[in-house]
Structure 1
Amino acid sequence: MINEKRITVDSVPCFFVEPGDCVKGTVLFYHGWSSAKELQVLRARILAAYGYAVLVPDALYHGERGSIDYDSKAAYPFFWQAVLANLQEAPQLVSYMQERRFKTPFFVMGHSMGGITALGVLVTEKAVRGAVSMNGSGWWNESERRFRAAHKLDWQPEYTDMIAAIDRVDPYYKVDSLRKKTVLLLSGGADDVVDGAAQAMYADKLRQHHIDCEMITYEGLGHFVTTNMMGDAVQWLDKKIKE
Protein backbone atom coordinates (compact mmCIF):
# COMPACT_ATOMS: atom_id res chain seq x y z
CA MET A 1 0.00 0.00 0.00
CA ILE A 2 1.34 3.43 -0.96
CA ASN A 3 1.51 5.98 1.84
CA GLU A 4 1.15 9.71 1.16
CA LYS A 5 1.37 12.78 3.35
CA ARG A 6 2.08 16.48 3.28
CA ILE A 7 5.14 17.46 5.35
CA THR A 8 7.39 20.48 5.91
CA VAL A 9 11.17 20.18 5.76
CA ASP A 10 12.98 23.27 7.07
CA SER A 11 10.05 25.52 6.05
CA VAL A 12 9.78 23.91 2.58
CA PRO A 13 6.30 22.40 1.98
CA CYS A 14 6.64 18.93 0.48
CA PHE A 15 4.54 15.98 -0.58
CA PHE A 16 5.95 12.64 0.54
CA VAL A 17 5.03 9.32 -1.08
CA GLU A 18 6.47 5.95 -0.13
CA PRO A 19 5.75 2.32 -0.93
CA GLY A 20 4.23 0.25 1.82
CA ASP A 21 6.83 -2.48 1.49
CA CYS A 22 10.61 -2.38 1.12
CA VAL A 23 12.08 0.85 -0.24
CA LYS A 24 14.70 0.10 -2.90
CA GLY A 25 15.54 3.67 -3.85
CA THR A 26 14.90 7.31 -2.98
CA VAL A 27 13.90 10.08 -5.38
CA LEU A 28 13.81 13.83 -4.85
CA PHE A 29 11.39 15.07 -7.53
CA TYR A 30 11.21 18.72 -8.68
CA HIS A 31 8.20 20.18 -10.48
CA GLY A 32 8.29 22.64 -13.35
CA TRP A 33 7.56 26.34 -13.74
CA SER A 34 3.96 27.29 -12.81
CA SER A 35 3.34 23.81 -11.37
CA ALA A 36 3.22 22.62 -7.74
CA LYS A 37 3.88 19.53 -5.65
CA GLU A 38 0.25 18.38 -5.74
CA LEU A 39 0.35 18.25 -9.53
CA GLN A 40 3.18 15.71 -9.37
CA VAL A 41 1.31 13.20 -7.22
CA LEU A 42 0.60 10.79 -10.09
CA ARG A 43 4.28 10.71 -11.07
CA ALA A 44 5.28 10.18 -7.45
CA ARG A 45 2.76 7.35 -7.13
CA ILE A 46 4.16 5.66 -10.24
CA LEU A 47 7.65 5.76 -8.74
CA ALA A 48 6.35 4.53 -5.38
CA ALA A 49 4.56 1.65 -7.08
CA TYR A 50 7.98 0.48 -8.27
CA GLY A 51 9.52 0.70 -4.81
CA TYR A 52 10.80 4.27 -4.59
CA ALA A 53 10.27 6.73 -1.74
CA VAL A 54 9.59 10.14 -3.29
CA LEU A 55 9.83 13.65 -1.86
CA VAL A 56 8.29 16.46 -3.94
CA PRO A 57 8.97 20.03 -2.69
CA ASP A 58 7.18 23.21 -3.66
CA ALA A 59 9.58 25.57 -5.41
CA LEU A 60 9.81 29.24 -4.48
CA TYR A 61 6.78 31.19 -5.84
CA HIS A 62 4.82 27.96 -6.32
CA GLY A 63 2.13 26.04 -4.47
CA GLU A 64 2.04 26.91 -0.80
CA ARG A 65 4.92 29.34 -1.32
CA GLY A 66 2.87 31.82 -3.31
CA SER A 67 2.21 32.50 -6.96
CA ILE A 68 3.02 35.09 -9.60
CA ASP A 69 2.02 35.84 -13.17
CA TYR A 70 4.12 33.06 -14.68
CA ASP A 71 3.44 34.19 -18.26
CA SER A 72 4.61 37.74 -17.69
CA LYS A 73 7.96 38.79 -19.17
CA ALA A 74 8.67 40.51 -15.85
CA ALA A 75 8.57 37.09 -14.17
CA TYR A 76 11.63 35.80 -16.02
CA PRO A 77 14.19 36.54 -13.25
CA PHE A 78 11.93 34.72 -10.78
CA PHE A 79 12.35 31.54 -12.82
CA TRP A 80 16.08 31.50 -12.13
CA GLN A 81 15.54 32.62 -8.54
CA ALA A 82 13.37 29.53 -8.06
CA VAL A 83 16.03 27.26 -9.59
CA LEU A 84 18.78 28.74 -7.41
CA ALA A 85 16.58 28.52 -4.31
CA ASN A 86 15.98 24.83 -5.08
CA LEU A 87 19.74 24.28 -5.03
CA GLN A 88 20.15 26.12 -1.74
CA GLU A 89 17.39 24.08 -0.13
CA ALA A 90 18.47 20.70 -1.52
CA PRO A 91 20.91 19.77 1.31
CA GLN A 92 18.12 19.90 3.89
CA LEU A 93 15.80 17.79 1.75
CA VAL A 94 18.48 15.21 1.04
CA SER A 95 19.37 15.03 4.74
CA TYR A 96 15.74 14.57 5.69
CA MET A 97 15.40 11.52 3.47
CA GLN A 98 18.74 10.07 4.52
CA GLU A 99 17.99 10.46 8.21
CA ARG A 100 14.90 8.31 7.81
CA ARG A 101 15.16 4.59 7.08
CA PHE A 102 15.99 5.21 3.46
CA LYS A 103 19.63 4.11 3.35
CA THR A 104 19.08 3.35 -0.31
CA PRO A 105 20.47 4.68 -3.61
CA PHE A 106 19.49 8.34 -3.91
CA PHE A 107 18.37 9.93 -7.18
CA VAL A 108 16.99 13.29 -8.24
CA MET A 109 14.44 13.83 -10.98
CA GLY A 110 12.40 16.65 -12.45
CA HIS A 111 10.52 18.09 -15.39
CA SER A 112 11.24 21.39 -17.18
CA MET A 113 12.41 23.81 -14.46
CA GLY A 114 12.58 20.71 -12.29
CA GLY A 115 14.79 18.95 -14.84
CA ILE A 116 17.09 21.95 -14.86
CA THR A 117 17.16 21.86 -11.06
CA ALA A 118 17.81 18.12 -10.94
CA LEU A 119 21.05 18.42 -12.90
CA GLY A 120 22.23 21.18 -10.59
CA VAL A 121 21.45 19.15 -7.47
CA LEU A 122 23.31 16.17 -8.91
CA VAL A 123 26.43 18.32 -9.05
CA THR A 124 26.12 19.88 -5.59
CA GLU A 125 24.94 16.91 -3.51
CA LYS A 126 27.48 14.11 -3.04
CA ALA A 127 24.84 11.71 -1.74
CA VAL A 128 22.91 11.79 -5.02
CA ARG A 129 23.95 8.97 -7.33
CA GLY A 130 22.14 10.02 -10.50
CA ALA A 131 19.64 12.36 -12.12
CA VAL A 132 16.75 12.07 -14.57
CA SER A 133 16.10 15.34 -16.38
CA MET A 134 12.86 15.51 -18.36
CA ASN A 135 12.73 18.37 -20.86
CA GLY A 136 15.39 20.19 -18.88
CA SER A 137 18.91 21.44 -19.50
CA GLY A 138 22.34 20.92 -18.02
CA TRP A 139 23.82 23.98 -19.70
CA TRP A 140 22.15 26.79 -17.81
CA ASN A 141 23.99 29.71 -19.38
CA GLU A 142 23.16 28.55 -22.90
CA SER A 143 19.53 27.92 -21.97
CA GLU A 144 19.31 31.35 -20.35
CA ARG A 145 20.39 32.97 -23.62
CA ARG A 146 17.93 30.87 -25.58
CA PHE A 147 15.06 31.69 -23.21
CA ARG A 148 15.63 35.43 -23.65
CA ALA A 149 15.86 35.08 -27.42
CA ALA A 150 12.74 32.93 -27.68
CA HIS A 151 10.65 35.29 -25.54
CA LYS A 152 12.17 38.43 -27.09
CA LEU A 153 13.17 39.81 -23.72
CA ASP A 154 14.91 43.17 -23.76
CA TRP A 155 18.07 43.38 -21.69
CA GLN A 156 17.50 44.49 -18.09
CA PRO A 157 20.26 45.68 -15.72
CA GLU A 158 19.23 43.03 -13.17
CA TYR A 159 20.16 40.30 -15.64
CA THR A 160 23.88 40.93 -15.03
CA ASP A 161 23.76 39.69 -11.43
CA MET A 162 21.27 36.96 -12.37
CA ILE A 163 23.57 35.51 -15.04
CA ALA A 164 26.58 35.73 -12.73
CA ALA A 165 24.66 33.70 -10.12
CA ILE A 166 23.69 31.14 -12.77
CA ASP A 167 27.27 30.79 -13.99
CA ARG A 168 28.58 30.08 -10.47
CA VAL A 169 26.56 26.86 -10.27
CA ASP A 170 26.03 25.96 -13.93
CA PRO A 171 26.34 22.14 -14.23
CA TYR A 172 27.98 22.51 -17.63
CA TYR A 173 31.12 23.87 -15.97
CA LYS A 174 31.21 21.29 -13.17
CA VAL A 175 31.51 18.03 -15.06
CA ASP A 176 34.31 16.79 -12.80
CA SER A 177 31.76 16.60 -9.97
CA LEU A 178 29.97 13.84 -11.86
CA ARG A 179 32.68 11.20 -11.67
CA LYS A 180 31.03 7.93 -10.59
CA LYS A 181 27.58 9.49 -11.12
CA THR A 182 25.02 8.82 -13.84
CA VAL A 183 22.65 10.91 -15.94
CA LEU A 184 19.51 10.24 -17.97
CA LEU A 185 18.28 13.03 -20.27
CA LEU A 186 14.76 12.69 -21.66
CA SER A 187 13.57 15.30 -24.16
CA GLY A 188 10.65 15.87 -26.49
CA GLY A 189 11.86 16.32 -30.04
CA ALA A 190 9.22 19.02 -30.65
CA ASP A 191 9.67 20.81 -27.30
CA ASP A 192 9.14 24.52 -27.94
CA VAL A 193 9.53 25.60 -24.31
CA VAL A 194 13.02 24.41 -23.33
CA ASP A 195 15.28 24.39 -26.39
CA GLY A 196 16.70 20.89 -26.69
CA ALA A 197 19.93 22.12 -28.28
CA ALA A 198 21.45 23.12 -24.94
CA GLN A 199 20.57 19.72 -23.50
CA ALA A 200 22.16 17.95 -26.46
CA MET A 201 25.33 20.01 -26.11
CA TYR A 202 25.41 19.17 -22.41
CA ALA A 203 25.10 15.47 -23.24
CA ASP A 204 27.99 15.76 -25.70
CA LYS A 205 30.19 17.33 -23.07
CA LEU A 206 29.41 14.58 -20.54
CA ARG A 207 30.30 11.92 -23.09
CA GLN A 208 33.52 13.70 -23.97
CA HIS A 209 34.48 13.53 -20.30
CA HIS A 210 33.42 9.86 -20.08
CA ILE A 211 30.53 10.53 -17.71
CA ASP A 212 27.83 7.84 -17.71
CA CYS A 213 25.12 9.60 -19.73
CA GLU A 214 22.16 8.39 -21.76
CA MET A 215 19.89 10.66 -23.80
CA ILE A 216 16.52 9.73 -25.29
CA THR A 217 14.66 12.06 -27.65
CA TYR A 218 10.97 11.38 -28.30
CA GLU A 219 10.30 12.50 -31.85
CA GLY A 220 7.22 14.70 -32.26
CA LEU A 221 6.73 15.13 -28.51
CA GLY A 222 6.30 18.61 -27.10
CA HIS A 223 6.94 19.88 -23.59
CA PHE A 224 5.25 16.99 -21.82
CA VAL A 225 5.94 13.98 -19.63
CA THR A 226 4.41 10.87 -21.16
CA THR A 227 3.79 7.37 -19.87
CA ASN A 228 6.68 6.17 -22.05
CA MET A 229 8.96 8.77 -20.51
CA MET A 230 8.06 7.68 -16.97
CA GLY A 231 8.50 4.05 -17.98
CA ASP A 232 11.96 4.72 -19.37
CA ALA A 233 12.87 6.61 -16.19
CA VAL A 234 11.80 3.72 -13.96
CA GLN A 235 13.67 1.16 -16.08
CA TRP A 236 16.79 3.32 -15.92
CA LEU A 237 16.53 3.69 -12.14
CA ASP A 238 16.08 -0.06 -11.69
CA LYS A 239 19.09 -0.74 -13.92
CA LYS A 240 21.36 1.71 -12.11
CA ILE A 241 20.45 0.32 -8.71
CA LYS A 242 21.59 -3.13 -9.83
CA GLU A 243 24.90 -1.92 -11.26
Structure 2
Amino acid sequence: MIVVKHECIKSIPLLHVVKQKEQWEKLPLIIFIHGFTSAKEHNLHYAYLLAEAGFRILLPEALYHGEREQDLTEKDLLIHFWDIVLNTINEIKIIKEFYEEEGLVKSGEIGVVGTSMGGMVTLGAMTQYEWIKVAVSLMGMPAYEKYSLWQLEQLSEQGVPLPFNEEEIEQQLATIRQYDLSLQPEKLVNRPLLFWHGKKDSLVPYPLTYQFFETIKPDYQQNPGNLAFLTDEQAGHKVSREGLIATVEWFKQHLFINDKNIVGVN
Protein backbone atom coordinates (compact mmCIF):
# COMPACT_ATOMS: atom_id res chain seq x y z
CA MET A 1 0.00 0.00 0.00
CA ILE A 2 1.17 3.53 -0.81
CA VAL A 3 0.51 6.23 1.77
CA VAL A 4 0.24 9.95 1.09
CA LYS A 5 0.89 12.13 4.11
CA HIS A 6 0.42 15.89 4.30
CA GLU A 7 3.28 17.44 6.25
CA CYS A 8 4.63 20.91 6.91
CA ILE A 9 8.37 21.31 7.32
CA LYS A 10 9.43 24.72 8.63
CA SER A 11 6.34 26.35 7.06
CA ILE A 12 6.80 24.45 3.76
CA PRO A 13 3.70 22.34 3.00
CA LEU A 14 4.42 19.09 1.20
CA LEU A 15 3.07 15.67 0.38
CA HIS A 16 5.09 12.69 1.55
CA VAL A 17 4.52 9.56 -0.56
CA VAL A 18 5.99 6.19 0.39
CA LYS A 19 5.18 2.50 0.78
CA GLN A 20 3.39 2.05 4.09
CA LYS A 21 5.51 -0.91 5.18
CA GLU A 22 8.72 1.02 4.51
CA GLN A 23 7.80 4.50 5.69
CA TRP A 24 10.21 4.42 8.64
CA GLU A 25 13.14 2.90 6.73
CA LYS A 26 16.09 4.72 5.20
CA LEU A 27 15.11 5.02 1.54
CA PRO A 28 16.47 6.83 -1.51
CA LEU A 29 14.80 10.24 -1.57
CA ILE A 30 13.29 12.05 -4.55
CA ILE A 31 12.06 15.64 -4.33
CA PHE A 32 9.51 16.53 -7.02
CA ILE A 33 8.96 20.22 -7.86
CA HIS A 34 5.73 21.27 -9.57
CA GLY A 35 5.36 23.83 -12.33
CA PHE A 36 4.33 27.48 -12.55
CA THR A 37 0.66 28.05 -11.49
CA SER A 38 0.43 24.33 -10.63
CA ALA A 39 0.44 22.67 -7.20
CA LYS A 40 2.00 19.71 -5.42
CA GLU A 41 -1.06 17.45 -5.85
CA HIS A 42 -0.82 17.62 -9.64
CA ASN A 43 2.18 15.28 -9.72
CA LEU A 44 0.85 12.51 -7.52
CA HIS A 45 0.80 10.06 -10.44
CA TYR A 46 4.59 10.40 -10.69
CA ALA A 47 4.92 10.02 -6.93
CA TYR A 48 2.78 6.88 -6.85
CA LEU A 49 4.85 5.07 -9.48
CA LEU A 50 8.12 6.17 -7.90
CA ALA A 51 6.95 5.07 -4.45
CA GLU A 52 5.92 1.70 -5.89
CA ALA A 53 9.50 1.36 -7.14
CA GLY A 54 10.86 1.82 -3.61
CA PHE A 55 11.58 5.54 -3.30
CA ARG A 56 10.50 8.09 -0.73
CA ILE A 57 8.90 11.02 -2.60
CA LEU A 58 8.41 14.56 -1.32
CA LEU A 59 6.28 17.05 -3.25
CA PRO A 60 6.70 20.54 -1.76
CA GLU A 61 4.42 23.50 -2.45
CA ALA A 62 6.24 26.38 -4.13
CA LEU A 63 5.94 29.91 -2.80
CA TYR A 64 2.65 31.64 -3.81
CA HIS A 65 1.21 28.36 -5.12
CA GLY A 66 -1.43 25.95 -3.83
CA GLU A 67 -1.65 26.18 -0.04
CA ARG A 68 0.74 29.13 -0.12
CA GLU A 69 -1.19 31.21 -2.65
CA GLN A 70 -1.88 34.85 -1.83
CA ASP A 71 -4.60 35.74 -4.34
CA LEU A 72 -2.03 36.86 -6.90
CA THR A 73 -2.98 37.01 -10.55
CA GLU A 74 -0.94 35.03 -13.07
CA LYS A 75 0.65 38.31 -14.13
CA ASP A 76 1.62 39.04 -10.52
CA LEU A 77 3.04 35.54 -10.21
CA LEU A 78 5.08 36.08 -13.35
CA ILE A 79 6.60 39.21 -11.81
CA HIS A 80 7.71 37.02 -8.88
CA PHE A 81 8.82 34.12 -11.10
CA TRP A 82 12.52 34.21 -10.24
CA ASP A 83 11.80 34.85 -6.55
CA ILE A 84 9.76 31.65 -6.59
CA VAL A 85 12.47 29.69 -8.41
CA LEU A 86 15.29 30.77 -6.12
CA ASN A 87 13.21 30.35 -2.98
CA THR A 88 12.33 26.80 -4.02
CA ILE A 89 16.00 25.99 -4.60
CA ASN A 90 16.75 27.15 -1.06
CA GLU A 91 13.84 25.14 0.36
CA ILE A 92 15.03 21.93 -1.29
CA LYS A 93 18.01 22.01 1.07
CA ILE A 94 15.79 22.62 4.11
CA ILE A 95 13.56 19.69 3.20
CA LYS A 96 16.46 17.35 2.48
CA GLU A 97 18.19 18.14 5.77
CA PHE A 98 15.01 17.63 7.80
CA TYR A 99 14.39 14.13 6.50
CA GLU A 100 18.06 13.23 6.87
CA GLU A 101 17.90 14.28 10.52
CA GLU A 102 14.82 12.09 10.90
CA GLY A 103 16.89 9.13 9.67
CA LEU A 104 14.68 8.49 6.65
CA VAL A 105 17.15 9.00 3.79
CA LYS A 106 19.56 6.42 2.40
CA SER A 107 22.95 8.13 2.47
CA GLY A 108 24.00 9.65 -0.85
CA GLU A 109 20.83 8.57 -2.65
CA ILE A 110 18.98 11.81 -3.41
CA GLY A 111 17.29 12.85 -6.63
CA VAL A 112 15.41 15.93 -7.79
CA VAL A 113 12.88 16.19 -10.60
CA GLY A 114 10.45 18.84 -11.78
CA THR A 115 8.06 19.89 -14.50
CA SER A 116 8.40 23.22 -16.34
CA MET A 117 9.35 25.74 -13.64
CA GLY A 118 10.14 22.72 -11.48
CA GLY A 119 12.55 21.50 -14.15
CA MET A 120 14.25 24.88 -14.05
CA VAL A 121 14.47 24.64 -10.27
CA THR A 122 16.00 21.17 -10.62
CA LEU A 123 18.70 22.38 -13.01
CA GLY A 124 19.45 25.48 -10.94
CA ALA A 125 19.72 23.36 -7.80
CA MET A 126 22.46 21.32 -9.44
CA THR A 127 24.66 24.43 -9.45
CA GLN A 128 24.29 24.69 -5.68
CA TYR A 129 24.10 21.16 -4.27
CA GLU A 130 26.68 18.47 -4.95
CA TRP A 131 24.55 16.01 -2.99
CA ILE A 132 21.96 15.81 -5.78
CA LYS A 133 22.97 12.47 -7.27
CA VAL A 134 20.35 12.15 -10.03
CA ALA A 135 18.11 14.68 -11.79
CA VAL A 136 15.29 14.81 -14.32
CA SER A 137 14.12 17.97 -16.08
CA LEU A 138 10.68 17.73 -17.68
CA MET A 139 10.12 20.77 -19.91
CA GLY A 140 12.68 22.73 -17.91
CA MET A 141 15.74 24.58 -19.14
CA PRO A 142 19.04 25.67 -17.56
CA ALA A 143 19.74 29.02 -19.25
CA TYR A 144 18.26 31.32 -16.63
CA GLU A 145 19.61 34.56 -18.09
CA LYS A 146 18.52 33.80 -21.66
CA TYR A 147 15.09 32.68 -20.48
CA SER A 148 14.61 35.81 -18.39
CA LEU A 149 15.44 38.00 -21.38
CA TRP A 150 13.10 35.91 -23.54
CA GLN A 151 10.30 36.43 -20.98
CA LEU A 152 10.82 40.20 -21.07
CA GLU A 153 10.83 40.15 -24.86
CA GLN A 154 7.55 38.24 -24.92
CA LEU A 155 5.93 40.74 -22.57
CA SER A 156 7.16 43.62 -24.69
CA GLU A 157 5.80 42.06 -27.90
CA GLN A 158 2.42 41.63 -26.21
CA GLY A 159 2.38 45.32 -25.29
CA VAL A 160 2.56 44.58 -21.56
CA PRO A 161 4.37 47.33 -19.62
CA LEU A 162 7.54 45.89 -18.11
CA PRO A 163 7.30 45.73 -14.31
CA PHE A 164 11.03 46.44 -13.86
CA ASN A 165 13.31 49.31 -14.80
CA GLU A 166 16.69 48.66 -16.42
CA GLU A 167 18.59 48.75 -13.14
CA GLU A 168 16.23 46.24 -11.54
CA ILE A 169 16.50 43.97 -14.58
CA GLU A 170 20.29 43.98 -14.38
CA GLN A 171 20.18 43.26 -10.65
CA GLN A 172 17.89 40.31 -11.28
CA LEU A 173 20.12 38.98 -14.06
CA ALA A 174 23.17 39.26 -11.83
CA THR A 175 21.40 37.21 -9.17
CA ILE A 176 20.09 34.45 -11.39
CA ARG A 177 23.42 34.03 -13.18
CA GLN A 178 24.68 32.36 -10.00
CA TYR A 179 22.16 29.57 -10.60
CA ASP A 180 22.45 29.44 -14.39
CA LEU A 181 23.70 25.93 -15.21
CA SER A 182 24.39 26.89 -18.82
CA LEU A 183 27.08 29.26 -17.53
CA GLN A 184 28.68 26.65 -15.27
CA PRO A 185 28.08 23.20 -16.80
CA GLU A 186 31.20 21.86 -15.09
CA LYS A 187 29.10 21.63 -11.91
CA LEU A 188 27.29 18.64 -13.36
CA VAL A 189 30.41 16.49 -12.93
CA ASN A 190 28.81 13.68 -14.93
CA ARG A 191 25.84 13.28 -12.62
CA PRO A 192 22.94 11.38 -14.22
CA LEU A 193 20.63 13.85 -15.96
CA LEU A 194 17.58 13.19 -18.11
CA PHE A 195 15.74 15.79 -20.19
CA TRP A 196 12.26 15.44 -21.66
CA HIS A 197 10.88 18.23 -23.84
CA GLY A 198 8.16 18.70 -26.43
CA LYS A 199 9.36 20.31 -29.64
CA LYS A 200 6.19 22.43 -29.91
CA ASP A 201 6.49 23.91 -26.41
CA SER A 202 5.55 27.58 -26.56
CA LEU A 203 6.16 28.36 -22.88
CA VAL A 204 9.67 26.98 -22.36
CA PRO A 205 11.54 27.11 -25.68
CA TYR A 206 12.77 23.68 -26.72
CA PRO A 207 15.91 25.04 -28.48
CA LEU A 208 17.29 26.55 -25.27
CA THR A 209 17.21 23.13 -23.62
CA TYR A 210 18.44 21.06 -26.53
CA GLN A 211 21.32 23.43 -27.28
CA PHE A 212 22.53 22.97 -23.71
CA PHE A 213 22.26 19.19 -24.03
CA GLU A 214 24.40 19.26 -27.18
CA THR A 215 26.94 21.47 -25.40
CA ILE A 216 27.42 19.10 -22.47
CA LYS A 217 27.41 15.80 -24.40
CA PRO A 218 31.23 15.80 -24.80
CA ASP A 219 31.56 16.07 -21.01
CA TYR A 220 29.75 12.74 -20.66
CA GLN A 221 31.93 10.76 -23.07
CA GLN A 222 33.26 8.62 -20.24
CA ASN A 223 29.74 8.03 -18.85
CA PRO A 224 27.34 8.33 -21.82
CA GLY A 225 24.64 6.41 -19.98
CA ASN A 226 24.38 9.24 -17.46
CA LEU A 227 22.94 11.71 -19.97
CA ALA A 228 19.82 11.45 -22.11
CA PHE A 229 17.41 13.71 -23.97
CA LEU A 230 13.94 12.57 -25.00
CA THR A 231 12.27 14.74 -27.63
CA ASP A 232 8.55 14.53 -28.34
CA GLU A 233 8.08 15.86 -31.87
CA GLN A 234 4.37 16.61 -31.37
CA ALA A 235 4.11 17.64 -27.72
CA GLY A 236 3.57 21.16 -26.52
CA HIS A 237 3.81 22.14 -22.87
CA LYS A 238 2.58 18.85 -21.42
CA VAL A 239 4.56 15.78 -20.46
CA SER A 240 3.53 12.58 -22.22
CA ARG A 241 3.14 9.18 -20.58
CA GLU A 242 6.43 8.30 -22.25
CA GLY A 243 8.03 11.08 -20.22
CA LEU A 244 6.40 9.79 -17.04
CA ILE A 245 7.64 6.23 -17.57
CA ALA A 246 11.11 7.45 -18.58
CA THR A 247 11.32 9.45 -15.34
CA VAL A 248 10.56 6.42 -13.22
CA GLU A 249 12.99 4.23 -15.15
CA TRP A 250 15.75 6.85 -14.91
CA PHE A 251 15.58 6.90 -11.14
CA LYS A 252 15.35 3.10 -10.95
CA GLN A 253 18.53 2.94 -13.01
CA HIS A 254 20.56 5.59 -11.22
CA LEU A 255 19.39 5.77 -7.57
CA PHE A 256 20.21 2.73 -5.48
CA ILE A 257 17.21 0.77 -4.29
CA ASN A 258 17.04 -2.76 -2.92
CA ASP A 259 16.03 -5.34 -5.49
CA LYS A 260 13.03 -6.27 -3.38
CA ASN A 261 11.61 -2.78 -3.93
CA ILE A 262 11.78 -2.78 -7.71
CA VAL A 263 8.51 -3.44 -9.50
CA GLY A 264 7.53 -3.17 -13.13
CA VAL A 265 5.71 -0.14 -14.48
CA ASN A 266 3.11 -0.85 -17.16
Same fold flag (TM > 0.5)? yes
Paired-residue identity, %:
25
Task: Provide the rounded CA distance (Å) in 2 between the counterparts of 1:146 and 1:178.
Answer: 25
3-state SS, counterpart of residue 20 of structure 2: coil
Q: Which is worse superposed, 138-147 or 78-87?
A: 138-147
How far apart, in 1, do the equivalents of 2:172 and 2:4 lie?
36
- Please tell me whether Structure 1 or Structure 2 has the larger radius of gyration of its CA atoms: 2
| Aligned: 1:2 with 2:2 | yes
For each residue in 1:171-196, what CA deviation from the matched residue of structure 2 results, as whole angstroms up to 9, or x when unmatched? Answer: 11222221141210110111111101
The CA deviation string for residues 102-128 of structure 1, in whole angstroms up to 9 with x for no partner, is 215210000000000011112212221
Q: CA deviation at 1:201?
A: 1.7
The structure-2 alpha-carbon separation of the partners of 1:67 and 1:199, relative to structure 1 and needing over 3 Å to count, comes to: farther
User: 5+ residue gaps in structure 2?
Assistant: 258-266
- The verdict on how the C-alpha distance between 1:75 and 1:241 changes in structure 2, with shifts beyond 3 A counting, is closer
- Which of 117, 124, 131 is matched with 2:121 structurally? 117
Q: Where do residues 202-217 of structure 1 align in structure 2 (5 Å cutoff)?
A: 202-210=212-220, 212-217=226-231
SS in 1 for 2:15: strand
TM-fit CA distance, 1:242 = 5.9
CA distance in 1, matches of 2:182, 2:100: 27
* Residues 141-199 of structure 1, C-alpha deviations (whole Å, 9 max, x = no match): 12222222234355531322221111122111222221141210110111111101111
Taking structure 1 as reference, are residues 95 and 215 closer, same or farther at Cα in structure 2, changes over 3 Å only?
A: same
What is residue 231 of structure 1 aligned with on the other side?
Answer: 245
Using the size of structure 2 for normalisation, the TM-score is 0.84
8 Å CA contact retained: 1:87, 1:120: yes
1:164 aligned residue: 174
Determine the structure 2 residue equivalent to 1:82.
84
Q: Deviations over 1:87-106 (max 9, x none)?
A: 12221111123233221521
Q: Distance in 2 between matches of 1:98 and 1:110?
A: 21
Q: C-alpha root-mean-square deviation of aligned residues, in Å?
A: 2.1
Confirm or deny that 1:221 pairs with 2:235: yes
TM-score by length of 1: 0.91
Runs of 4+ in 1 over 4 A off after TM superposition: 21-24
Secondary structure, in 3 states, of the residue corresponding to 1:83? helix
Question: Deviation at 1:208?
Answer: 3.3
**Contact kept in structure 2, 1:21 and 1:51, CA below 8 Å:** no
Residue 199 of structure 1 is matched in structure 2 by 209
The answer to whether the 8 Å contact 1:119/1:171 transfers is: yes
- Structure 1 residues 70 and 236: alpha-carbon distance in aligned structure 2, compared to 1, 3 A threshold: farther
Local SS of the residue matching 1:123: coil
Between the two proteins, the alignment pairs up a number of residues equal to 242
Offset, 1:21: 4.4
String of CA shifts for 1:39-84, please: whole Å, max 9, x gaps. Answer: 2222211211221111111111111212454532x54331111001
SS in 2 for 1:118: helix
Residue number among 126, 130, 135 corresponding to 1:126 in the alignment: 130
Cα contact 2:27–2:104 (8 A) shared by 1: no
CA shift in 2, pair 1:70/1:107, >3 Å: farther
Structure 1 counterpart of 2:45: 42
- Find the aligned partners of 2:104 and 2:40 in 1 and give their Cα distance: 23
